[in-house]
Structure 1
């Protein structure tokens, strides 16, 4: 029974990461919650097929991803959020520039092809290695690396980022901050 207890606690610990990935796929918090719930039910039901010592988080992400695509096939079409209404309801944004940058990033991320967006989220936001992401997506490591590279390049184009100087405070703010340093 101790292994079931450990499995249970590991499932609970993975929920925030699963939810973040589900939100990025479903583009809707309610649908993401349903997706995570379905993933947890399937994982609990199939816990005997999980091999201890392997990566539980990657196993769960694979279940979630497969469930998402199964649901998409059943619906026959993807939910569109072209005006950003659903995305805007996911969180209340502060009025600082960072919130505007985040909105710009979300819009740009949504413009990426689905395979590139998924790879960027798995590697950049969820912290998976290329090998783990390749396992989750069911493709070669080189394919994941290529998707991430093409996705990053396209994001730079969409966000009009040319280099490191495009990050951080603008030149006026940098001067003000520089003059306050003793």
Structure 2
């Protein structure tokens, strides 16, 4: 359960699964992103599947009665937690889904909004009246992008470990 909570918390931050505006406060709501896509945005407009979650520090998330910390957090998760993807569309809309395509997932998550990519390094997401600008790195052949952030992760023993964690998303070929 702890590993599900850790992944969900991390993905919530990354996917902007936050609710911000109430119905009576529409004037403070961040407007959706609009406009034609640049050439780099057109190349980026694809489905991107979560492929890796790597921690700078070794962390044991598995409740398997063994002390086996690992920097590869992705391999410590089940199919539902690993089942995560972004779909960036050419009309500037995006969808983030987690646990939707794997079998028997009880905690399915979906977030929608609009997106913009600036200089191939800043990904702006607008969702639920909130805007988040995320530093990303795209590899040289445009097949993967990486998001790195610092998180407090609770291991299987209840210890809180502060570590930089990198999420890798791979482009799905059309």
Higher relative contact order (CA 8 A, sep 6+): 2
User: What is the TM-score of this pair, normalised by structure 2?
Assistant: 0.24
Structure 1 or 2: larger strand share?
Answer: 2
Question: Who wins on radius of gyration, i.e. which is larger?
Answer: 1
